[in-house]
Amino acid sequence: MDHKQKTEQKTESLDFIRTRIAEDVAQNKNNGSVHTRFPPEPNGYLHIGHAKSICLNFGVAKEFNGKCNLRFDDTNPAKEEVEYVQSIQEDVHWLGYDWEDRIFYTSGYFEKLYEFAVELIRKGFAYVDSLSAEEIREYRGTLTEPGRESPYRNRSVAENLDLFERMRAGEFTGGTHVLRAKIDMASPNIVMRDPTLYRIRKATHHRTGDAWCIYPMYDFAHCLSDAIEGITHSLCTLEFENNRPLYDWVLDHVSAPCHPQQIEFARLNLSYTILSKRKLLKLVEDGYVSGWDDPRMPTISGMRRRGFTPQSIRNFCVRIGVAKFNSIVDIELLEHSIREDLNKRAPRVMGVLQPLRVVIENYSADKTEYLNAVNNPEDPDAGTRQVPFSRILYIEKEDFREEPPKKFFRLAPGREVRLRYAYFITCTDVIKDEQGNVVELRCTYDPQTRGGDSPDGRKVKGTLHWVSAAHAVTAEVRLYDRLFLKRNPDEVNGNEIFAVNLNPDSLVTLQNCRVEPGLKNAAPGEIFQFERKGYFCIDTKDSSMEKLVVNRTVSLRDSWAKIEKAGEQKEKSTK
């Protein structure tokens, strides 16, 4: 394949953003360089939607030998906190991306932004308006009606400069004056009807303290911050499409060092999930979850604690791609990406979530055998380990039925099954408590079947996981499920989203689970597959030497293939 063919092939598979950037590079725009940024507002923890933006911005920079900055868009002193600034850095690094020394803060540009505002005033492109917020709203007009010009719109440059300076000096209370761009009150695009550029906010900022009492609006600060940093492509979500003319207007009316290109893409929406920081904050503040890093949260820190890997999240972001129309991605696709990655890397162990005692009557009480178990059939390098076997074991409660229905191939009275890596056992007796609950099984084992194979070719239909009672470690296991019952929880209005919509079973905590002794030494955050049960990880917050706490990351059942197939069929039938 010659070189030209190769690049053509590559271009074919590019999404619309990468295609566009590739064109810019080919035309030597910006001297062929690519510089992007990820610009979070530090008013909450990052979530899976941000991961999409991070993977896109840092990914594009890497693919085009460019750079990506981390910029905190910290222009709203009321809602922003240092805690968020720190968590955001941790999360971006954890996802596998590095801004090197390029960490910036919009607040670091306050002086420069102020100067740009003064430049606009001098050129007659901005004025101080003294209408109240309410009046400004009224004057703005509607989608069908043009706006009206403020009576203050034609103040002289000198008066505007004087007032703006005094706004900065703290002479006025919040809400009395704002700085507005002088554009067009009749514009069909409401964004262009003399948008506010600065407002008075007498609040302490987490970085600049009380140095400022006027703060720039997003539309003014964002494009100029991009320009100050020499950003070439400013990637943002679709709701900013209407703001692009304003982005360009500001840059065209001041002496900006460069003019970045804004390109919009669809934000990620996930089924059964909310991704609004305001609503996520409410979940935390009202105690519906244990914090921003509750493993049920769609935050990066929640997913990390739950046992998701950076690789699996990055794979998910590649799979969903970037497009120009909004849609809801099935959460099953995220789960599929997690399983796919963990299947390769997670060591297999045996863990019994709901233990049922089993006594092997023909096995000596003072004997322990160590049996060979494969650590990961997907990874030949992972090797084997020794698991102890003894007279008293635990198996999973649900693996026994006194009256087994059809197709139940696990243990039942008189039936023989295989214990994984161990022996065939046969159930000979069932012990019950006074209420009739099964509390213990009496079994015999066949010494000829060590390792799980019978020399006479005898077949058994079921293979169960188990642990040795004397050797097992007790653990608390937390089973997590979706936080919301509705596929699109945002469809429910207001606070009902929480009251009506929360899944009451999103967390089920099991005490006295029994796991292999090797887990005693597992480090917080370590991930395992409990055979037949799912992927689990040691909780990084609550697990200790005294008490092992394990989170279920995801069950083994993958429903993605089914959904995908249904989608394909639907597509076929509509063609």
Residue 254: closest CA among 223, 282, 285: 223
Q: Which stretch binds Mg ion (CB under 5 A): 38-46, 322-330, 355-363, 556-564?
A: 38-46
Residue type, 405: P
Least CB distance to Mg ion at residue 41 (A)? 5
- 497 contacts ligand ATP (rule: CB under 6 A): no
Catalytic entry in 29, 201, 267, 532: 267
Catalytic entry in 41, 159, 378, 564: 41
- Asked if 198 contacts 118 with a C-beta cutoff of 8 angstroms, the reply is no
Q: 41 catalytic, yes or no? A: yes
Q: Could you give the 3-state DSSP secondary structure of residue 209?
A: strand
Q: Which does 569 bind (CB under 5 to 8 A by kind): ligand ATP, Mg ion, none?
A: none
- 236 contacts ligand ATP (rule: CB under 6 A): yes
Site string for ligand ATP, 73-112 (x = CB under 6 A): x---------------------------------------
Q: Return the residue matching tokens 């009576």.
A: 151
- 246 contacts ligand ATP (rule: CB under 6 A): no
Q: Which does 532 bind (CB under 5 to 8 A by kind): ligand ATP, Mg ion, none?
A: none
Q: Which stretch binds ligand ATP (CB under 6 A): 39-47, 99-107, 295-303, 457-465?
A: 39-47
Q: Could you give the 3-state DSSP secondary structure of residue 392?
A: strand
Catalytic entry in 193, 244, 277, 420: 277
Q: For the chain, what is the radius of gyration of the CA atoms?
A: 31
- 307 contacts ligand ATP (rule: CB under 6 A): no
| Residue 264 CA, distance from chain mean position | 20
Candidates 39, 59, 260, 307: give the one binding ligand ATP (CB under 6 A).
Answer: 39
Q: Which stretch binds Mg ion (CB under 5 A): 35-43, 132-140, 206-214, 287-295?
A: 35-43
Q: Could you give the 3-state DSSP secondary structure of residue 179?
A: strand
Residue type, 239: E
Cα–Cα dist 482/355, whole Å: 25
- 70 contacts ligand ATP (rule: CB under 6 A): no
Least CB distance to ligand ATP at residue 239 (A)? 8
Q: Rounded to whole angstroms, what are the CA distances from 79 to 74, 82, 177, 278?
A: 9, 11, 22, 10
- 267 contacts ligand ATP (rule: CB under 6 A): yes
Q: Return the residue matching tokens 């500001």.
A: 250
Count of residues of this chain found to bind ligand ATP when the rule CB under 6 A is applied: 15
Cα–Cα dist 362/178, whole Å: 87
Q: 391 catalytic, yes or no? A: no
- 41 contacts ligand ATP (rule: CB under 6 A): yes
Q: Which does 236 bind (CB under 5 to 8 A by kind): Mg ion, ligand ATP, none?
A: ligand ATP
Residues whose CB falls within 8 Å of the CB of residue 367, separated by 6 or more in sequence, listed in order: 390, 391
Closer to Mg ion at the Cβ: 266 or 469? 266
Candidates 277, 348, 465, 478: give the one binding ligand ATP (CB under 6 A).
Answer: 277
- Asked if 234 contacts 241 with a C-beta cutoff of 8 angstroms, the reply is no
3-state secondary structure 218-234: HHHHHHHHHHHCCCCEE
- 59 contacts ligand ATP (rule: CB under 6 A): no
Largest distance between two CA atoms of the chain: 102
- Asked if 275 contacts 299 with a C-beta cutoff of 8 angstroms, the reply is no
User: Of how many residues is the chain composed?
Assistant: 575
- Asked if 326 contacts 266 with a C-beta cutoff of 8 angstroms, the reply is yes
- 268 contacts ligand ATP (rule: CB under 6 A): yes
Contact residues for Mg ion, defined by CB under 5 A: 41
Active-site amino acid positions: 41, 267, 277
Contact residues for ligand ATP, defined by CB under 6 A: 39-41, 49-50, 52-53, 73, 236-237, 267-268, 275-277
